Chains A and B, each alone.
Chain A
Amino acid sequence: MSNRTLPRLLQTPAVVLLLMWMLVPLSMTLFFSFIRYVLNNLRRPEWTSPDIANWRGFGNYEYVLYQAKDFWFAVQNSLFIVGSVIFLTVVFGLAIAVLVNRTFPGRGIVRVLFISPFFVMPAVNAVLWINMILDPVLGLNGLAIEGINNTISTLQNLPGIGSFFALWPEIEPLSFRATQTSAYAVIIMVTWQWTPFAALIFMTSLQSEDQQQKEAAILDGAGVWAQFMHLTLPHLARPIAIVVMIQAIFHLSLYAEIEIVSRGNGNKNLPYLIGEFASNNIGAASATGIMAVILANIVAIFLLRIIGKSLMD
């Protein structure tokens, strides 16, 4: 026994510190979620300090769930953004990893280039995309549409075939700050940033793929697609699981992109909603936070069920 006591003892400070790190904020949030606590209220100044006397029971939760209109929208939108980003990054990541996994001149440079989006800060990423690429007037989006429209109008003025192009409408550039599209803008920019992460993990895993298995498959008459489906994809099950898990955790807490694209207009997720509540109503923000923790846990359990198996094997 004694030879295990010392290591335990030495571990204790770290464990206690980590526990406090986790438990103190969590219990404070729990406490705030059950009391009335606002930052500014002239009529009821007693609510502006956290006090057990302001006990509200599940009042904050009721308010968030039934009265504040954005909660269910935010839950739905969170899952939509996370799900889309995961799906797209895995698909693009696989495609890039498989493409780059062969030898060609300049492979080193290509690898460095395509990994670089991952080093861009989220806020910078959002500013770059929404202003320089997706902007309907000044961005690449606007310029490209303008170019296409100019070409069409030139063609319309040509004799003969001009009458055919006269039937073509003028194309309107899509604004990605609008209520209906701001979620797509976030999905596009986060996908751009995280595809390299997925590709990088898939790439390292592809290098460990057994070449003799592929040769056996070639002798068995498997084409490139059959090899990919029957050998490469199963081989990548574990890295795919890792990419899905890590991204699910990261993207549930997206904030900067949502703030910069539309300030939550038409596009909120739970962290953003918490941020909005927290500008005054700490009680509601805390209740939302607790529900976000529950949601994250549901997602985590769900993922572990599906993916855990492939990780354990």
Chain B
Amino acid sequence: MAGLTLREVAKSYGDTDVITNLDLDIQDGEFVVFVGPSGCGKSTLLRMIAGLEEITGGTIAIGNKVVNDIAPAKRGVAMVFQTYALYPHMTVYKNMAFGLKQAKTPADEIDRRVKAAAETLEITPLLERTPRALSGGQRQRVAIGRAIVREPEVFLFDEPLSNLDAALRVQTRIEIARLHKRLGTTMIYVTHDQVEAMTLADKIIVLRDGNIEQVGSPIELYEKPQNMFVAQFIGSPKMNFFKAEELNDKGQSYLKGEADIIGIRPEHLKLAGKTDALITATPDLIENLGEIALVHCKTASSMEFIAKTTDLSAFPVGKEVKLTANTSVLNFFNSTSQQAV
């Protein structure tokens, strides 16, 4: 069991900087999710922690030990890959035992650990099969099992669910959450799926272009995004931004000091009463998802935004409506700095 400390970590390929001066603390036992758009460096960062990518600058410490020059296998980390990366010519049992065998663990110890992990993941009947004979979900479990048997101090997951179908993804996600609860081991999880990030994480780290945009609990990121990027990245559909010219007088009165943009999440938009209207808009398309409906609206200056509602009758298509939101859920931003105010 160990936390991680990253200090001024940098990575560049030739002249291209992928990650620059990144500082990060991960507590022992935390479930941390790296999230960000593709190319933001989240996988690279994970691979640097694993030791699969060299670090160009700074230090990475696992526990209290700087691991910059320590071989990947000796860092006390285990990784679950996106493609599972199971050894195709070995049975499930041998796949799970491979790492222990390389570490010259006694045979009865290997057997005990593999069987225990198989028990936990309910893959005991599969132990003698080869990966080829397994379904995607089963392969995923074996990949996790292979990580568990090594009893690492830190688990690394590199988009482990992206090759699974939707139903299986939800199920496996819950299993990973349970696993973390039971093992209590530090886990670092890379994903571009914000639902995975929101549901699994103790702490989310939003990355963009190799920089940390915000670190915080899922709710913090949802309620108090520190900048417009995070505001739009977390939440689905993404947060709507209203500039002064889109707002009516009441709305504009909220803009004070630096703030020149109001961010309102689609789920917070509702029909206004007589006095509290912030925006005037016309619904022009409705996507009805059953439990909720997404109402695509246009303001007078034809800026498009989305409102999420359970009450469709309040949004007649083509007719002007007045919308508002509780003041407690409004987010304010500055358009030049892109930061929250």
Contacts and interface: CB of A to CB of B under 8 A. Distances in A.
Whether A associates with B in a native complex is yes
Interface string A206-245: 0000101101111111110010001100110100000000
Contacts of B88: 210, 213, 234-235
A309 to B, nearest CB: 13
B269 to A, nearest CB: 44
Nearest to A313: B132
A209 to B, nearest CB: 10
Interface stretch (B71-79, B116-124, B199-207, B312-320): B71-79
Interface stretch (B98-106, B256-264, B303-311): B98-106
A286 to B, nearest CB: 46
Given A230-B87, A234-B88, A221 B99 contact: yes
B52 A222 contact: no
A210 B79 CA distance: 16
B73 A220 contact: yes
A216 B72 contact: no
B254 interface: no
Interface in A176-227: 210, 212-213, 215-223, 226
A230 B86 CA distance: 12
Given A226-B102, A230-B98, A219 B78 contact: yes
Contact of B87 (A218, A219, A231): A231
Contacts of A217: 87, 98
Contacts of A219: 50-52, 72-73, 77-79, 99
Interface string A12-37: 00000000000000000000000000
B284 to A, nearest CB: 46
A172 to B, nearest CB: 49
A213 B73 contact: no
Interface string A140-153: 00000000000000
Given A220-B99, A220-B150, A221-B103, A234 B79 contact: no
B85 interface: yes
A220 B82 contact: no
Contacts of B82: 212
Contacts of A218: 51-52, 72-73
B21 interface: no
Contact of B102 (A215, A222, A235): A222
Which of A210, A216, A221, A222 gathers most chain B CB within 10 Å?
A216
B190 to A, nearest CB: 14
Which of B72, B85, B86 gathers most chain A CB within 10 Å?
B85
A204 B51 CA distance: 28
Contacts of B98: 217, 220, 222, 230
A82 B81 CA distance: 43
Contacts of B299: none
Contacts of A215: 52, 79, 81, 85
A12 to B, nearest CB: 40
Nearest to B50: A219
B90 interface: yes
A69 to B, nearest CB: 48
A217 to B, nearest CB: 7
Contacts of A220: 73, 98-99, 102, 146, 150
A212 B85 contact: yes
A311 to B, nearest CB: 15
21 contacts: A212-B81, A212-B82, A212-B83, A212-B85, A215-B85, A216-B85, A216-B86, A217-B87, A219-B51, A219-B52, A219-B78, A220-B98, A220-B99, A220-B102, A220-B150, A221-B74, A221-B102, A230-B90, A231-B87, A235-B88, A237-B89
